[in-house]
C-alpha cells in the first residue's frame, strides 16, 4: 500500500483518455495514496472517450507551481492528443525528466511514452505502449515489447508501462507496487 504518498498525474488541458486518468486515480486512492492533477494551465482539463468529449477535471496545480521533489511518483495517462501536447511544452518535459533525475517511479500508459521520448528517458529502457509508438520508442533507444504491462528497473527510476485501457488492471497493480 502507499498510504499517504502523493502521486502526480500530468495531463494536458485537453485530450487525456478519461479512463486512463480515472482508473489509475481510483487505484491510487484505494491504496491510500493522494493523487494530484497537474497540468500546464489552471482551471480544468477536458478528458475524452477516444474522440468524444468526456468529463472535465479540476487541476490541483500547474507544472510551474510544483516540483517533482514534492511527489512520490508520477502517472502519465494516455490519449493521442494529451502526450502530443505535453511533449511540446518545455515545462512539462522538464517536470517529467525531473522524476527520472530524482530516481522516482513513473507509470505511463498508451501514447504517454511520447512525452518520455521527448524527456530523453527511454534510452536503454524496456517498455510497452500503444503499438503505433513502437518505432518511435526503438528509434529513441528503447526496447519495445507487446505486453500488458512492462516494469523496467534498469535505472534508479522504476518505469511501469502499459498499452491500452484493456491493460488498466495490470497497470494499476504494477504502478502501486512501484510507488510502494
Identify whether the C-beta of residue 10 lies closer than 8 Å to the C-beta of residue 76: yes
- Which of 108, 110, 119, 174 is catalytic? The answer is 110
* 3 state SS for 67-112: CHHHCCEEEECCCCHHHHHHCCCHHHHHHHHHHHHCCCCEEEECCC
The cell for 115 is: 512525452
The cell for 43 is: 482551471
- Is 110 a catalytic site residue? yes
CA distance 142 to 126: 6
Identify whether the C-beta of residue 62 lies closer than 8 Å to the C-beta of residue 40: yes
The cell for 128 is: 510497452
Active site residues: 110
Amino acid at each position: 500500500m502507499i498510504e499517504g504518498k502523493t502521486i502526480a498525474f500530468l495531463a494536458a488541458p485537453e485530450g487525456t483518455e478519461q479512463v486512463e486518468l480515472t482508473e489509475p486515480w481510483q487505484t491510487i486512492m484505494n491504496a491510500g495514496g493522494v493523487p494530484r492533477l497537474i497540468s500546464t494551465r489552471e482551471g480544468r482539463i477536458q478528458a475524452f472517450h477516444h474522440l468524444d468529449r468526456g468529463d472535465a477535471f479540476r487541476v490541483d496545480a500547474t507544472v510551474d507551481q510544483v516540483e517533482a521533489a514534492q511527489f512520490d511518483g508520477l502517472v502519465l495517462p494516455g490519449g493521442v492528443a494529451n502526450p502530443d501536447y505535453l511533449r511540446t511544452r518545455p515545462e512539462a518535459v522538464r517536470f517529467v525528466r525531473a522524476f527520472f533525475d530524482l530516481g522516482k517511479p513513473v507509470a505511463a500508459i498508451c501514447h504517454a511514452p511520447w512525452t518520455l521520448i521527448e524527456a530523453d528517458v527511454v534510452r536503454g529502457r524496456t517498455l510497452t505502449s500503444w503499438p503505433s509508438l513502437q518505432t518511435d520508442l526503438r528509434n529513441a533507444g528503447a526496447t519495445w515489447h507487446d505486453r500488458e504491462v512492462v516494469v523496467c528497473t534498469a535505472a534508479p527510476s522504476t518505469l511501469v508501462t502499459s498499452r491500452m485501457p484493456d491493460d488498466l488492471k495490470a497497470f494499476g497493480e504494477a504502478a502501486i507496487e512501484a510507488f510502494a
